[in-house]
Amino acid sequence: MRSCYLVEYDLLEYRYSLDLQQRIRVIKEDNRNYDNFLLVLQHNPVFTIGKKGSREDILATEEILTNEAIDVIDVKRGGEVTYHGPGQMVGYILLNLAKLNISVDQFVWNMEEILIQLLKGYGIEGWRKEGYPGTWINYQGRTWKIAAIGARASKLITSHGLALNVNTNMDHFRLIVPCGITEYEPISMEKLLGKKLDIDEIYTKFEQLFETIFEIKLEQITEEELEKRIERDA
């Protein structure tokens, strides 16, 4: 079976995650047979602006950003403005799609399917919305977005990925126009189920579904082992 290294983090500083992904991308573009990686983590509070985004979609003043300790960073992923923070599970997927014979459309479908199946295990019915990558749910007669997808697939090498609101501070989403969407609000699993969830359990279920849906075997390594690999192969 195809393989991929898995690295788990508790809380990862966002700028470091960008640097980490870029260093892996440089190696993968130079060596098309290089390893694939899945990084599963949570971030410090941060608003990220994708290639289609604008600072006008950030509604908070500089004072509020400072008081809430929220960083603002421009990134090269697809999409517009979104929020990451503690209690939100983020999956960064660094694959060579050509080598794996996976199209970009299939890659996005697979990410959505993982999220849909994960939510189903908690009794939450998630679904796709055409033209809006991510995962959606119905609650109190309205449509809500529970997970975002903002991946990059340059030269068929992927980076960035997805974010699922588990125990996320949803008040921070009110400080932006999330993903450029004004008619639908984001929501968390905690809000839907009325209780906090075990984020480690979410990590495990996500990783199991990743293996099944992508048909890729995961091998877990430590943060230190990943850094050593990158330093060795750069």
Q: Residues 94-104: pLDDT tens digits?
A: 999 999 999 99
What is the structure's pLDDT at 11? 93
Q: Which residue is catalytic, options 39, 179, 202, 209?
A: 179
Give the number of domains in the chain: 1
**H-assigned helices in the chain:** 14-30, 62-67, 97-100, 104-120, 189-193, 199-214, 223-233
What is the structure's pLDDT at 22? 94
CB 5 within 8 A of CB 221: yes
What is the structure's pLDDT at 51? 80
Instruction: Round to whole Å and give the CA distance between 21 and 92.
Output: 8
Cα angle vertex 229, ends 42, 9, to 5°?
15
Three-class SS state of 122? coil
What is the structure's pLDDT at 48? 86
Three-class SS state of 40? strand
Instruction: Round to whole Å and give the CA distance between 93 and 113.
Output: 15
What is the structure's pLDDT at 179? 59
What is the structure's pLDDT at 158? 96
How would you write the pLDDT of the chain (234 residues) with one tens digit per residue? Answer: 789 999 999 999 999 999 999 999 999 999 999 999 999 999 999 998 888 777 788 988 999 999 999 999 887 766 678 899 999 999 999 999 999 999 999 999 999 999 999 999 999 999 999 888 899 999 999 999 999 998 889 899 999 999 999 999 999 988 988 655 556 789 999 999 999 999 999 999 999 999 999 999 999 999 999 999 999 998
* Residue 4 known to be catalytic: no
Question: What are the φ and ψ backbone dihedral angles of 125, each rounded to 5 degrees?
Answer: -90, 105
What is the structure's pLDDT at 182? 58
Q: What is the CATH number of the domain that holds 212?
A: 3.30.930.10
Residue 216: which region, alpha, beta or left (left: phi > 0; alpha: psi -120 to 50)? Answer: beta
CA 68 to chain CA centroid, nearest Å? 22
Q: Residue 195 belongs to what domain range?
A: 2-233
Question: What are the φ and ψ backbone dihedral angles of 162, each rounded to 5 degrees?
Answer: -140, 165
For 16, 42, 97, 149, 232, the CA distances from 131, given in Å and listed in that order, are 31, 27, 22, 12, 41
